[in-house]
């Protein structure tokens, strides 16, 4: 198992690295080159840099991810593709994407896009909270404990 992080806007990278390395599970951050950093990562953590293209990180993740790997992303489209490959996929707010909920999430995203395209406004995501961080930590720990 490898943990992949759609890392450009992930607010829980530190939690994933801490929990993953403690359990000796490899962690791979996939991020655009515009987020380049010289910060040295702990043993077992790899960073893959991709071009700044809109879905460059998504394409790289889908090429790499395998059945039973874990992906952390807020992108419903990427989550759907990873689920189809047999990966476990979770959102940084602490909920798990499943084959039972992904179609509704994609439908909601589509409808919101159509509303915006017609010139109206939709609500953005709620602010990320410490409660979300703790909920995520618990879900991640639970998932990794089952492996």
User: In this structure, are residues 67 and 45 in contact, taking their beta carbons and an 8 Å threshold?
Assistant: no
Residue with more model confidence, 104 or 45: 45
Report how many domains make up the chain. 1
pLDDT of residue 125: 78
pLDDT of residue 100: 92
- Determine the distance from the C-alpha atom of residue 119 to the mean position of all C-alpha atoms in its chain, rounded to a whole number: 29
pLDDT confidence band for 145 (50 / 70 / 90): very high
User: In this structure, are residues 75 and 91 in contact, taking their beta carbons and an 8 Å threshold?
Assistant: no
| Strand ranges of the sheet holding 96-97, from the earlier edge strand across to the other edge | 45-50, 27-32, 3-6, 70-72, 88-90, 96-97
Mean pLDDT of 9-37: 96
pLDDT of residue 53: 86
Which long-range contacts does 123-129 make (Cβ < 8 Å, 24+ apart)? 125/74, 128/11, 128/92, 128/93
Q: What is the CATH number of the domain that holds 54?
A: 3.40.50
Question: 49-97: per-residue pLDDT in tens?
Answer: 999 987 999 999 999 999 999 999 999 999 999 999 999 999 999 999 9
Domain extent for 70: 3-145
pTM of the model: 0.90
Which segments of the chain are extended strands (E)?
Answer: 3-6, 27-32, 45-50, 70-72, 88-90, 96-97
Which residues are bridge partners to 88 per DSSP? 70
């Amino acid at each position: 198992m490898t943990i992949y992080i759609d890392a450009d806007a992930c607010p829980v990278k530190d939690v994933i690295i801490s929990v993953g390395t403690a359990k000796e599970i490899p962690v791979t951050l996939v991020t655009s080159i515009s987020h380049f950093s010289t910060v040295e990562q702990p043993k077992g953590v790899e960073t893959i840099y991709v071009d700044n293209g809109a879905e460059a990180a998504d394409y790289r993740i889908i090429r790499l991810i395998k059945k039973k790997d874990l992906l952390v992303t807020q992108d419903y489209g990427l989550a759907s593709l990873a689920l189809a490959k047999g990966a476990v996929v979770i959102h940084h707010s602490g909920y798990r994407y499943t084959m039972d909920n992904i179609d509704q999430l994609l439908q909601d995203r589509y409808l919101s896009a159509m509303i915006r395209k017609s010139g109206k406004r939709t609500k953005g995501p709620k602010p990320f909270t410490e409660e979300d961080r703790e909920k995520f930590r618990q879900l991640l720990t639970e998932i990794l404990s089952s492996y």
